Chain A
Amino acid sequence: MRVEKIRRSEPYFYLAPTIILMVILLIIPIIMVVRYSFYDNVIINKHPQFIGFENFAKVFHNKSFSAAAKNTLIFVGGSVIVHLFIGMTFAMLLNTKYLSAKTKALFRVIFALPWMFTASVIAILWKMLLDPHGVVNYLLEIFNLNSTQVEWLASRDFALLSVTIINIWAGYPFYMVSILAGLQGIPSDLYESSAIDGASAVQHFFRITIPQLKPILISLLMLDFVWTLQQFALIWMTTGGGPIHSTEMLSTFIYKLGFSKYQYSQASASAVILLVICSIVAFFYVRHQRGQE
């Protein structure tokens, strides 16, 4: 039955490159990092010692870790909520009957612009805009909102707010475009029949729009949560986690621990903590995606 055997192995043949890549570049590294997190002095020492959960205990007692966890929570929470709000507003705006198709197409491009830029461009651009002598402070002054030259990224009071705003700017177009696709998929007769029943615009929104968009909104929130949780590049290039840990995130904390303090064991332990949080969200995301099929 050689032919039969060949036929059975055929799907694996097509999958072979993918499986090999995933095993070498994903499964093995994950096993390695989990193993590192239970050993002392990994990478630096050739024969590291097994120390159980000691690395985790050290990480949890590290003051910068708790600061990073708190900042990450504020950063992620703020970004996700405002992303949803702006994305929804812009999507609805681009879906109204008051604008011509051409106007909509033009503004769709303008509103989607921030999406096109890589983190280092966004970082450098906003460092320029938010400079004490920069154009943001100038605009605040001419609109009489503020007359002092705020050090947006260099002051402990404003740095976290500033990086959150930058991240909001960089991330809302993904929501906008996804929600817009969702809005266009809602059958118009749903609205028509409800209009006959005399429902108001607000009722339309909560009774038809939101329930119809629910699957997309849930996917968006989960994806964005995971992505924002991992955000490294923007923070690293604008504030580097400072001043004095005021914008320290889990990602910058891990990076510094590993690549400037060479505490690979503790860095691995923190990386595993981040992985566990993301995996929990991913579990629900996968279940949600399956449920839709």
Chain B
Amino acid sequence: MVGGKSGYIKVLVVTLLMIGTLFSGFPILWMVLNSFKPNSEIFAWPPTWISKNFLVDAYVEIFKNPEKIRFFVNSYFIAFTAVILTLAISILASYSFSRFKFRGKNVINTIIVSVQAVPPITLLIPYLSLIVTMKLYNTYGALILTYLLFTLPYAILMMTGYLNTLPKDLDEAVMMDGGSRFRALWTVLVPVSVPGLVSVGMYTFMQSWNEYLFALALTKTNEYRTVPVGISLLMGQHAYEWNQMMAMSVLGSLPVLLLFLFFQRYFIAGMTSGAVKH
């Protein structure tokens, strides 16, 4: 035994790593593998790993189908618009929280924090009549507004935390030179807040890209439906085209996956700020 006790610990560590990899990674590996199989082989017994009939047909089918492409276009459009609006609105709000003392600050702040606990399903019933009244039912606007509501609280709290770490001298220097507050915010604070903005942007993108309940309830035609709803509609069809569902799942997960891989630190900072004080 190498080093006695620490040898046992190493064996334990490696075992746990293997179990963990199987648990977290295997389902995803299986999804990818199945997207390259013919549909008849999905439930083969014993299962095939890499099919002898390796196919990219499922992907081709999706790219040839304008209705499915549309789900992706919708998702990208809605998510990007939500990101831009969330960033703009949250930086203004957090500037106010970070640099001013004013009446009602605590109340507004408490409301913002507690939004995170309001169950979406509670809002859905009144929301539907509200959205219909505003003539936004089955539009991009309905979904973008909804996602703003869900992402703003987190975005504002994170950006306020970020701006609080920046010294007030930064913006005051601009104002001494006769610049407006707005200019100080735009030319000095925004450029140095880029890491915070990236985290907030990724968080917003992920939330908007992944949301299901409202995307399902507030749209009626495939013209405005997003990827998660598109995938779930595939499930409702008569014949299950499992390979296509898997291919669609792979494609639908890629944007968030790539964001995570390339911007891991920002991503994690954005996603965990509810629990961890950075």
Contacts and interface: CB of A to CB of B under 8 A. Distances in A.
The reply to whether chain A is a binding partner of chain B is: yes
Interface string A84-107: 000001100100101100000001
B119 A230 contact: yes
B73 interface: no
B213 to A, nearest CB: 5
Contact of B27 (A129, A220, A226): A129
A272 B122 CA distance: 7
Interface residues of B, number: 90
B252 A12 contact: no
A28 interface: yes
Interface in A239-275: 251, 254-255, 258-259, 264, 267-268, 271-272, 274-275
Interface string A114-153: 1111111101111111010111001000000000000000
A33 B123 contact: yes
Given A128-B246, A216-B276, A264 B125 contact: yes
B227 A118 contact: yes
Contact of B21 (A22, A30, A107, A117): A107
B43 A134 contact: yes
A10 B115 contact: no
Interface stretch (B57-65, B89-97, B167-175, B191-199): B89-97
Contact of A29 (B13, B27, B96, B127): B127
A111 interface: yes
B245 A116 contact: no
B24 A118 contact: no
A174 B125 contact: no
B45 A116 contact: no
A114 B92 contact: no
Interface stretch (A51-59, A154-162, A177-185): A177-185
A262 to B, nearest CB: 11
B70 to A, nearest CB: 16
B13 A124 contact: no
Interface stretch (A60-68, A73-81, A202-210, A280-288): A280-288
A25 B127 CA distance: 8
Interface residues of A, number: 92
B108 A278 contact: no
A292 B261 CA distance: 31
A163 B232 CA distance: 17
A285 B23 contact: no
A96 to B, nearest CB: 6
B1 interface: no
Contacts of B274: 219, 223
Contacts of A169: 23-24, 27
B10 A98 contact: yes
A123 B242 CA distance: 13
Contacts of B249: 117, 121, 124-125
B152 A21 contact: yes
A116 B260 contact: yes
B169 to A, nearest CB: 19
Nearest to B277: A292
Contacts of A226: 116-117, 119
B181 interface: yes
Given A120-B228, A138-B46, A259-B217, A18 B89 contact: yes
B121 A274 contact: yes
A226 B275 CA distance: 13
Interface in B193-240: 209-210, 212-213, 217, 227-229, 231-232, 234-235
Interface string B55-98: 00000000000000000000000000000000001101101110
B45 A133 contact: yes
The 6 closest A-B pairs by CB, nearest first: A282-B117, A32-B126, A118-B210, A11-B100, A14-B96, A133-B43
30 contacts: A15-B93, A15-B96, A18-B89, A18-B93, A22-B112, A22-B115, A22-B152, A26-B149, A36-B126, A93-B16, A98-B9, A99-B13, A110-B24, A118-B227, A118-B228, A118-B256, A119-B228, A128-B30, A129-B27, A138-B45, A181-B272, A219-B276, A220-B275, A226-B117, A233-B228, A255-B124, A259-B217, A271-B121, A272-B122, A274-B122
Interface of A: 8, 10-12, 14-15, 17-19, 21-22, 24-26, 28-30, 32-33, 36, 43, 89-90, 93, 96, 98-99, 107, 109-121, 123-129, 131, 133-135, 138, 169, 173-174, 177-178, 181-182, 215-216, 219-220, 223, 226, 229-230, 232-233, 237, 251, 254-255, 258-259, 264, 267-268, 271-272, 274-275, 278-279, 281-283, 285-286, 289, 292
Interface of B: 6, 9-10, 13, 16-17, 20-21, 23-25, 27-28, 30-31, 34, 42-43, 45-47, 89-90, 92-93, 95-97, 100, 102, 105, 108, 110-127, 129-130, 145-146, 148-149, 152, 156, 181, 209-210, 212-213, 217, 227-229, 231-232, 234-235, 242, 245-246, 249, 252-253, 256-257, 260-261, 264, 268, 271-272, 274-278
Given A93-B13, A111-B24, A169-B23, 17 more contacts: A10-B181, A11-B102, A18-B112, A21-B145, A28-B126, A33-B122, A116-B253, A118-B253, A125-B30, A127-B235, A138-B47, A177-B272, A216-B275, A223-B275, A232-B121, A255-B124, A285-B113
